[in-house]
């Protein structure tokens, strides 16, 4: 996919506290410069082409001045949303630069699961029944009047299944409340605390639990139409937490069921007021049909872009930039019949510090591994769900022509890699 460059000072800006090398290098193939706006403007690793990667420090009360300075020096082509934690700020920068992007209010609704549920309700988008409460005043008998067990509890603003808990009884509700109270303690160490620390209340969401097949659907869209980039089925989990284990293609739904899910995903994006860009939609399909769980107005994270590239034959980040710069959607088949793919992780359910990881040598001999990378090493701290999201030991992607065969290989990888963790307080 060729994107026109407008001279030697063309640039793509991203807002991200710590973009990885793969993301930056991908963007360097689309413009002369990549501008990274983040709280601390220090450089990335030495192997990044520092002459083309520029760092600017973000200060909330000086955003307008910062953007004016960048615009005076560089020809900005686009400011794509590439990280969930900065999607609202990215939308604001798009407004300041008059570049294509979603309205700030649409992104804000997507980030707030309670606000998103209200939008879905108003627009007739199928979604789980949802209630917004305060953890300080909510009692189990109040919830039982509106919801049957099991139901879901979670924070209104969070990512990567952080805080999400399945509650199956009064006893589990009491335990879940204690978890949420810890999450709201000022001294509690979790990387998402800044999202909600300024709130006067301690909100929680109670949500109807939907049985069924869970899908991730990645879309590109503008005001007129949309394009599906990927449809993946999530590994089935029964709670009490819902960690990212693996996502699989093809999915165990019929073509007509998948198309029904896609229509619901697109309707959810429209209901939020989004106008152009990428969306990562999570929903469940069960006996009552599809129910949209949440929408991220940015490309899918983790290894989703790699899997889309293999299955659909397209780089989703390049496709997003092409949409933002040239106002055109790609031509690709997100549901081919001749390939299978699984991307996932080796996880630890224990909280503590890693003593050792074994099995690396044996993994090398396992077939169909397209990618395998350790994310942790001895000495690193593990903080699993629901209180943390730092529980991935390694990530992998498998490619072939049989999902069943790849599922067996994924199981073998998780059996092969073992982790010893020393508990911490």
Q: Output the DSSP codes for 325-389.
A: HH-------SS-SS-EEEEEEEE--S-EEEEEEE-HHHHTT-TTEEEEEE---TT-EEB-TTT-S
Domain match, 351 and 333 both: no
Query: What is the rounded CA–CA span in Å between residue 150 and residue 167?
Result: 5
Other CB atoms within 10 A of residue 157 CB: 21
Question: Do 294 and 351 share a structural domain?
Answer: no
| Residues in contact with 339: Cβ distance below 8 Å, sequence separation at least 6, in sequence order | 249, 310, 311, 399, 400, 401
Answer with the one of 287, 302, 337 that is the final residue of a domain. 337
| Shared domain check, 215 and 174 | no
Buried b (16+ CB within 10 A) or exposed e, 60-90: eeeeeebbeebeeebebbbbbbbbbbbbbbb
| Strand-by-strand arrangement of the 151-154 sheet | 130-134, 203-208, 151-154, 165-167
- Where residue 189 sits, what CATH number does that domain have? 3.30.1490.20
Same domain for 332 and 217, yes or no, is yes
In a domain, 394, yes or no: yes
Mark which of 38, 60, 78 sits at the end of a domain: 78
In a domain, 92, yes or no: no
Closest CA to 210 of 272, 129, 112, 280: 129
Q: Tell me whether residue 108 is in a domain.
A: no
Please indicate, yes or no, if residue 44 is contained in any of the structural domains: yes
- 328 and 220 fall within a common domain: yes
370 and 417 in a single domain? The answer is yes
**Crossing angle of helices 316-326 and 21-28, rounded to 10°:** 40
How many independent structural domains does the chain possess? 4
Lay out the sheet containing 10-15: strands in order across.
Answer: 53-57, 33-38, 10-15, 75-78
237 & 174 share domain: no
Looking at residue 48, its pLDDT comes to 54
pTM for the whole structure: 0.92
**Same domain for 327 and 348?**
no
Strand locations in 4-100 (E): 10-15, 33-38, 53-57, 75-78
Question: Do 324 and 370 share a structural domain?
Answer: no
Whether 412 is in a domain gets the answer yes
Per-residue tokens: 340: 């299978």
Please give the torsion angle defined by the CA atoms of residues 141, 145, 149 and 154, in that order, rounded to the nearest 10 degrees. -80
> DSSP readout, 219-274?
EEE-SS-EEEEEEEEEPP--SS-----EEEES-SS-HHHHHHHHHHHHHHHHHTT-
Domain endpoint, select from 186, 208, 230: 208
161 plus 45 within the same structural domain: no
| CA–CA dist 199, 20 (Å, integer) | 31
Closest CA to 275 of 86, 111, 109, 106: 106
Residue ranges in the chain modelled with pLDDT below 70: 1-8, 41-50, 160, 186-200, 425
Q: Is 98 a member of any domain?
A: no
- Same domain for 245 and 192? no
Q: Are 384 and 243 in contact (CB under 8 A)?
A: yes
Scored b (16 or more CB within 10 A) or e, 119-141 reads bbeeeebbbbebbbbebeebeee
Residue 291, in any domain of the structure: yes
Name the 3-class secondary structure at 117: helix
Q: What range does the domain containing 71 cover?
A: 10-78
Report yes or no on 4 lying in a domain: no
CA distance 274 to 310: 27
The CATH number given to whatever domain includes residue 370 is 3.30.470.20
Task: State pLDDT tens for residues 343-377.
Answer: 999 999 888 999 999 998 889 889 999 999 999 99
Same domain, 300 and 382: no
pLDDT, residue 3, reads 46
Confidence at residue 95, expressed as pLDDT on a 0 to 100 scale = 95
* Conformational region of residue 66, where left means phi above 0, alpha means psi within -120 to 50, and beta covers everything else: alpha
């Amino acid at each position: 996919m060729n994107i026109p460059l407008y001279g030697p000072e063309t640039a793509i800006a991203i807002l991200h506290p710590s973009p990885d090398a793969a993301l930056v290098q991908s963007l360097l193939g689309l413009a002369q410069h990549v501008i990274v706006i983040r709280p601390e403007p220090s450089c990335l690793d030495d192997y990044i082409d520092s002459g083309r990667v520029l760092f600017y420090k973000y200060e909330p009360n000086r955003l307008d001045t910062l953007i004016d300075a960048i615009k005076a020096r560089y020809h900005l082509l686009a400011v794509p949303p590439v990280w969930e934690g900065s999607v609202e700020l990215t939308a604001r920068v798009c407004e300041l630069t008059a570049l294509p992007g979603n309205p700030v209010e649409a992104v804000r609704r997507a980030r707030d699961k309670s606000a998103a549920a209200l939008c879905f309700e108003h627009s007739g988008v199928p979604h789980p029944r949802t209630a917004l409460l305060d953890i300080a005043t909510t009692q189990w008998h109040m919830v039982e009047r509106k919801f049957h067990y099991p139901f879901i509890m979670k924070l209104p603003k969070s990512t990567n299944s952080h805080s999400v808990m399945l509650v199956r009884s009064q006893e589990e509700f009491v335990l879940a409340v204690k978890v949420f109270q810890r999450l709201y303690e000022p001294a509690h160490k979790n990387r998402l605390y800044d999202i909600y620390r300024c709130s006067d209340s301690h909100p929680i969401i109670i949500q109807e639990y939907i049985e069924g097949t869970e899908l991730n659907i990645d879309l590109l869209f503008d005001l007129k139409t949309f394009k599906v980039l990927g449809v993946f089925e999530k590994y089935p989990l029964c709670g009490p937490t819902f960690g990212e284990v693996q996502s699989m293609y093809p999915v165990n739904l019929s073509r007509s069921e998948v198309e029904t899910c896609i229509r619901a995903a697109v309707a959810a994006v429209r209901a939020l007021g989004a106008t152009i860009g990428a969306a990562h939609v999570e929903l469940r399909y069960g006996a009552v049909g599809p129910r949209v769980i949440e929408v991220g107005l940015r490309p899918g994270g983790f290894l989703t872009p790699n899997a889309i590239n293999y299955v659909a034959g397209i780089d989703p980040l390049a496709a997003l930039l092409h949409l933002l710069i040239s106002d055109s959607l790609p031509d690709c088949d997100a549901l081919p019949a001749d390939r299978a793919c699984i991307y996932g992780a080796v996880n630890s359910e224990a909280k503590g510090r890693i003593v050792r990881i074994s099995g690396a040598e044996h993994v090398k001999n396992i077939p169909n591994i397209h990618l395998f990378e350790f994310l942790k090493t001895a000495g690193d701290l593990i903080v699993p769900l629901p209180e943390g999201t730092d529980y991935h030991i390694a990530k992998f992607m498998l490619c072939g022509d049989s999902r069943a065969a790849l599922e067996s290989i994924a199981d073998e990888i998780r059996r092969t890699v073992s982790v010893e963790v020393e508990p911490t307080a």
